[in-house]
């Protein structure tokens, strides 16, 4: 195993499940100490125990990324424990209400914008303050193919993910000369707990959207995030990388 992140400290939000869990485990396999954060302490602790078996350090920190004070505390926690923050993956997110623009509830809109967009701004704000002090860092924000195209009945999710791409580009431009790279990834439909509750028919319909003929795997997304987080991607910033089984090529 190549240890491309040896000695680095990484923070992953939403790391108790799905894509975030796969990213936390892959970071650790590549030598990083990983701070696992989530609102689900029980599942988060399971990930920490898995990582501790890999000869790197790991801790769980309970934090709701929809609360700016918790995002600030989270970054302080990483720095207090490990002395610095080299890598951050702002991954936590929800699917939100399924409804048309006309019927979408005001509460549903506030919630999805808060958890899927405001959270990325809060995390970036405090992560960047630390990374500017250090003079280096790499951040990957979790967008979606729905950060590039629309889909019916998910206006809040689509709007939030489009905004995450724009926020990523802006933050990247502001920090490109400071040794900090910021990128976004855009998975198509990935087989995680976010989707496993779907009825068989709905799942088949999603599979049919991908020319490759299946849903993606969390581990496949993690490989792209690992590369963007590592020094191998040293000339990559402000970019949005779809990982979509051909979805956007149609
Ligand atoms: P998941 O439900 O398996 O994992 C999401 C994790 O985020 C959970 O552990 C959950 O507890 C945590 N979380 C939710 N709200 C939180 C909050 N307020 N604060 C902190 N943690 C919170 O989902 P996933 O499929 O792994 O999704 C991860 C990210 O990938 C999300 O941003 C999602 O929008 C994005 N994404 C997923 C897919 C997909 O098809 N699964 C596709 C594109 C993008």
Q: Which atom of ligand 1 is nearest to the CA of 70?
A: 19
- The answer, yes or no, to whether any atom of ligand 1 lies below 6 A from the CB of 89, is no
CA 16 to centroid of ligand 1, rounded, Å = 9
Q: Is the pTM of this model over 0.95?
A: yes
Most informative mutation of 93, 158, 165 for ligand 1 (most atoms within 8 A of CB): 93
Question: What is the ipTM score, two decimals?
Answer: 0.99
C-alpha 232: how far from chain center: 19
Q: Token digits for 61?
A: 């920190």
Cβ-proximal residues to 87 (8 Å cutoff; 6+ apart), any chain: 5, 8, 9, 10, 11, 27, 32, 137, 138, 139, 140, 229
169-222 pLDDT, tens digit per residue, is: 999 999 999 999 999 999 999 999 888 778 889 999 999 999 999 999 999 999
Q: Token digits for 96?
A: 């939100």
Q: Which atom of ligand 1 is nearest to the CA of 218?
A: 26
């Amino acid at each position: 195993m190549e240890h491309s992140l040896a000695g680095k400290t990484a923070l992953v939000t939403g790391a108790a499940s799905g894509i975030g869990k796969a990213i936390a485990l892959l970071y650790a396999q590549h030598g990083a100490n990983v701070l696992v954060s989530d609102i689900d302490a029980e599942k988060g602790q399971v990930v920490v125990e898995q990582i501790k078996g890999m000869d790197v350090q790991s801790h769980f920190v309970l934090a709701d990324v929809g609360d700016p004070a918790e995002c600030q505390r989270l970054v302080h926690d990483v720095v207090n424990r490990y002395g610095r923050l080299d890598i951050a993956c702002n991954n936590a997110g929800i699917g939100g209400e399924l409804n048309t623009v006309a019927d979408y509830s005001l509460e549903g809109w506030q919630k999805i914008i808060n958890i899927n967009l405001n959270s990325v701004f809060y995390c970036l704000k405090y992560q960047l303050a630390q990374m500017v002090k250090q003079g280096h860092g790499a951040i990957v924000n979790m967008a979606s193919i729905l950060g590039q195209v629309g889909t019916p009945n998910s206006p809040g999710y689509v709007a939030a993910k489009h905004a995450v791409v724009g926020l990523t580009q802006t933050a990247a431009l502001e920090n490109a000369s400071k040794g900090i790279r910021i990128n976004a990834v855009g998975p198509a439909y990935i087989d995680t707990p976010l989707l496993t509750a779907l009825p068989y028919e709905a799942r088949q319909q999603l599979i049919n959207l991908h020319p490759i003929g299946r849903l993606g795997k969390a581990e496949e997304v993690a490989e792209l995030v690992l590369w963007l987080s590592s020094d191998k991607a040293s000339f990559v910033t402000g970019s949005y990388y779809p990982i979509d089984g051909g979805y956007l090529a149609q």
